[in-house]
Each structure stands twice: as C-alpha cells, then as structure tokens.
Amino acid sequence: MMWRVGTVVALQDETATARTITLKVPDWPGHIAGQHVDVRLTASDGYSAVRSYSIASAPNAEKRVELTVERLPNGEVSPYLTQEIAVSDCLELRGPIGGWFVWRAKQTEPIQLVAGGSGIVPLMAMIRSRALAGSTAPFRLLYSVREPQAVFYREELQALSDHDRSMNLTYAYTRVAPKDWPRPPSRIDAALIANTTWPSKLVPTCYVCGPTSFVESASRLLTSSGNDPEKIRTERFGPTGERQ
C-alpha cells in the first residue's frame, strides 16, 4: 500500500490525554468501519517511527479521516499527536488496513460492541457508520472505562443513545463511578454481561476491542454466556498501546 499525505483540518480534545485529529486526504480511497491506518512520523535526521491507529470516522465523501489518539507517557508518536501537532500540519498515512474486524451496512443482525478504554475508537466508527447509513440493525455498546472523565465521545454517544432506541449504551466504571451510580467501580463480569448484552439466542455478532487482557477476559465472558466464538471478533492493543 502506498503512503498518502493528509492535512490536519481540525483538532478536538476528547479527554485530558486523548485528541481527535481530522485529516483531509485528497486521494483517500475510502474505508470500512473498523479499519485502521499506519501513521509515519519522520524526524529531521531521517529517523522515522510508524504506529497504527484506528479510524474513528464513518466513511464520507469529503475524504476526511478522523483518528483519536491517546497519549502514552513514554510514547514516541502519541505525545506529538496529542500535544504538538497543529492545524495545517501534514501526516503520512498508509491504509486503510483490515478486512475482518469491520462492520458493513448490509449487516442486519444484532451487534454487540464491547470496548475497553481507547478500544472505543473503531467501535465508534461502526456506530457512526450505522447512523450515517440509516441502518436499523440493533446495536448495544458496553463501554468499560476508568472514570467518567476518561470517556471518549461522551456527548455524541449520549445523544445517539437518547434518540435511537435501537442503540443501547452501558458504562462500566472500573475505578471511579459517578455519584449514585447503580454499580460500584469494578471490571466487567459475568453478571454485567448477562444483564446488558444481547442474549446469545439472538446470535449477535460481537466486536471486542481494548488492551489484550481486557479483550481476553471479555471474550471468555461472552463465550461463557453462550455466544459462538466464531461470532466474536476481537482487536487488541499491547502494553504500549500499539495494535496487535
């Protein structure tokens, strides 16, 4: 695949450590919700670093690509993308990449999304693509996050959930929960899976994304609740936040 140059046209802070970068890519071939790109940064001495980031945006005719990047304390690339990059700067992109962890508008079965932290990004592309396509496929999102301040796309997710009965949203806070929240801070467990995800008898397609340990645990819980492992699609990040 060839490298393309995208120009930054907008920046949006999602949390204190995460930023959405909107790029205009004139020769962008289009993408499918769930795909990702490689981003290459090259220093003045010729040293280059490449990292993979999920696409957050739905496919669009404006050839704009949104990437939401979370800053890693010792990262080579994410500190620049979340703190230094500015509108009108350029980035090299390669992609789109991936053809299995994707959602297509022709899918009509129930969809179960399970996100851990920044694993929400490719799932958000699916949610946005569903809305843009006018799909009636029923979606449920179970979003595990440390605390309310760490939620990506909070207002957009709430608006979609409030105005679309077939788009259901559940948060699982692992460290700090809002006051009077019905569930104490804890990780996703069998009871939460049983009470908030689609019954396995409906044969949903499940998409699970997040850190490796989270993905493995959530997948086991989904399987234990009766879901067919062949219907569970996973994407995971390593300890450095890189895609695996």
Asked, as a colleague might, if the bond just before 96 is cis with ω within 30 of 0, I would say: yes
Q: How far apart are CA 222 and CA 190, in angstroms?
A: 8
* Domains along the sequence of the chain with CATH: 3-97 (2.40.30.10), 111-237 (3.40.50.80)
170-191 average pLDDT score: 95
Between 240 and 92, the more confident residue is 92
Residue 122: CB atoms within 10 A of its CB come to: 27
Hunting for tokens 């709430």 — which residue is that? 158
Residue-wise pLDDT tens digits, 105-114: 999 999 999 9
Handedness of CA 123, 126, 131, 136 (dihedral sign): negative
Please name the residue ranges forming H helices in the chain.
78-79, 120-133, 154-163, 190-196, 212-224
Hunting for tokens 């929240």 — which residue is that? 181
- What integer pLDDT is reported at residue 83 of this predicted model? 96
- What integer pLDDT is reported at residue 244 of this predicted model? 44
Q: How far apart are CA 92 and CA 239, in angstroms?
A: 24
166-184 average pLDDT score: 95
Report yes or no: 97 and 65 within 8 Å, Cβ to Cβ: no
Handedness of CA 80, 83, 84, 89 (dihedral sign): positive
Residue-wise pLDDT tens digits, 15-26: 999 999 999 999
Confidence label for 238 from pLDDT (cuts 50, 70 and 90): low
Report yes or no: 50 and 42 within 8 Å, Cβ to Cβ: no
Please state, for a pLDDT cut of 90, what percent of the chain lies above it: 90
Residue-wise pLDDT tens digits, 133-165: 999 999 999 999 999 999 999 999 999 999 988
- DSSP designation for 82: I
Residue-wise pLDDT tens digits, 39-96: 999 988 889 999 999 999 999 989 999 999 999 988 889 999 999 999 999 999 999 9
Q: How far apart are CA 5 and CA 22, in angstroms?
A: 13
Q: How far apart are CA 33 and CA 57, in angstroms?
A: 8
Please state, for a pLDDT cut of 70, what percent of the chain lies above it: 97
97-106 average pLDDT score: 96
